[in-house]
Structure 1
Amino acid sequence: MRRPEDINVLIGCETSGAMREAFLARGFNTFSCDILPADTPTNRHIQDDVRTVMRDPMWHLFCVMHPPCTRLCRAGQRWLYGPDKSHPKKLPKGRTWQDMIAEFEAGCDLFEACLHAPIPLRVVENPVMHKWAKERIRDLPEPQIVQPWWFGDPAFKATGFYLKGGLPKLVPTNKLTPPERGTEAYKDWSAIHRAPPGPDRWKIRSKTFPGIADAAALTWGDHALKVAA
């Protein structure tokens, strides 16, 4: 069996380093990549378009991608119905319906590029998509939907993993008991969905929880090692 340090792992569209650090902790030669700089200083982050970086032959086996979900998830569906002024939801300030459509198309293009990256083992993370995204993206598999509380983190956030190349699904490692709806604990667990509007809201809502990252590094890392053996 190959050693973890022999496997180069690309974590695409990540600035937090959560998934990168989980794979590094397991010994894999891991780098994150995004058009934005890393949230904290590191020599393990490539600031570039992941569609350019993924073509480097050094990524010979495995990647985990986190393309933005803003226009693809169900919460973003309301912006795509049309310019009809009777629609109850107003568009974001300073944006037009045409802007929303252009961002939707760009989001689909990036997701599809990640899904079909020239790397044998691929994971693409995104929430459950709305109907138009499902129709638009080519060869979209059914995702595995997991929750942070399945892996020991007290939080609600339906997280989808679209697996390609025969990667196994994650198995819950430490299932917690969710609090009752309406309690203060339930509100705490729902902090991701309750994030207030602001410039960092997208970052809060895209958070990768450590329990999921650790399970991913263990399950998919071990599978990559077996494939590489």
Structure 2
Amino acid sequence: MRDAFRAKGHDAWSCDLEPGNSKYHLQQDVLTVLDRGWDLGIFHPPCTFLANSSSKHLYIDGNKENGRDPSRWHQLHQGAKFFRTLWETEAIDKVVCENPIMLGYAKDIIGDEPTQIIQPWMFGDPYTKRTCLWIRGVEPLIPTYPKWEDCRQALGLPVDAKPKAEVHYAAPGPDRWKKRSLTYPGIASAFADNWG
């Protein structure tokens, strides 16, 4: 995302507790830099405990009959509060928060429905990954390809081609969360084109 904005001449920075691969990356808690005069904040709060796909993990051994897993419920509440803090920051006028389809419990804590739901294929990447956007201060994204058929034709794919669900079938392992959280290049470019 940062690189897509920088490629268009914007002074864009990333911020994460994880190390980055650029001199334009701040390795620190994002809450400590919100008040630095940013004109647009695009946030990707961790979704591990917020995503609908995590619902079974709210229960001991992934089984609702075993009762709630108190640790997971606590992490759900913490994650939703962090999301809401970013979404409601008064330090930045234009805010976009990105997350996958969210648990109903998390949405209840956040208190707002997403403004827009997009797919990578809408922006030229032949994949599915329903992505929710909470948008404040800027207009919703304009899809390059409103229908999969438009994207398929533009990419010259066979008539029977379908968008791939590679994120959903990522192999288990320690880096699975990183692979599942990547932003497709077409979406990053669309953010920069529409909001830069």
Shorter-chain-normalised TM-score: which range?
0.7 to 0.9
Q: Are 2:101 and 1:128 aligned?
A: yes
Distance (Å, rounded) in 2 between the aligned partners of 1:65 and 1:104: 18
User: Residue 176 of structure 1 corresponds to which residue in structure 2?
Assistant: 151
Q: CA deviation at 1:85?
A: 8.4
| Conservation of the 8 A alpha-carbon contact between 2:40 and 2:95 | yes
Distance (Å, rounded) in 1 between the aligned partners of 2:62 and 2:135: 39
- Cα deviation, 1:110-163, whole Å, max 9, x if unaligned, reads 11111012200000001121210111114x243311110111101110011100
| Conservation of the 8 A alpha-carbon contact between 1:141 and 1:163 | no
User: Residue 64 of structure 2 corresponds to which residue in structure 1?
Assistant: 87
- Percent identical: 39
User: Residue 92 of structure 2 corresponds to which residue in structure 1?
Assistant: 119
| Conservation of the 8 A alpha-carbon contact between 2:114 and 2:132 | no
Distance (Å, rounded) in 2 between the aligned partners of 1:86 and 1:151: 38
User: Residue 12 of structure 1 corresponds to which residue in structure 2?
Assistant: none
SS class of match (2:172): coil
Distance (Å, rounded) in 1 between the aligned partners of 2:64 and 2:176: 24
SS class of match (2:151): coil
Q: CA deviation at 1:109?
A: 1.5
Q: CA deviation at 1:205?
A: 0.7
- Over the aligned positions, Cα root-mean-square deviation in angstroms equals 2.6
What's the TM-score once normalised by structure 2's chain length?
0.86
User: Residue 7 of structure 2 corresponds to which residue in structure 1?
Assistant: 25
Residues 73-84 of structure 1: pairs in structure 2 closer than 5 A: 73-80=51-58, 82-83=59-60
Relative to structure 1, the CA distance from residue 85 to residue 36 in structure 2 (aligned partners, 3 Å threshold; closer, same or farther) is closer
Count matched residues.
187
Q: CA deviation at 1:55?
A: 2.5
- Cα deviation, 1:6-37, whole Å, max 9, x if unaligned, reads xxxxxxxxxxxxx0001001111111000110
Q: Are 2:82 and 1:105 aligned?
A: no
Distance (Å, rounded) in 2 between the aligned partners of 1:176 and 1:83: 42
Q: CA deviation at 1:86?
A: 5.5
Distance (Å, rounded) in 2 between the aligned partners of 1:111 and 1:141: 13
Relative to structure 1, the CA distance from residue 85 to residue 134 in structure 2 (aligned partners, 3 Å threshold; closer, same or farther) is closer
Moved more, 113-122 or 167-176: 167-176
Point out 4+ residue stretches in structure 1 off by more than 3 angstroms: 82-88, 177-180
User: Residue 217 of structure 1 corresponds to which residue in structure 2?
Assistant: 192
- Please list every run of 5 or more consecutive structure 1 residues that lacks an aligned counterpart in the other structure: 1-18, 222-229
SS class of match (2:12): strand
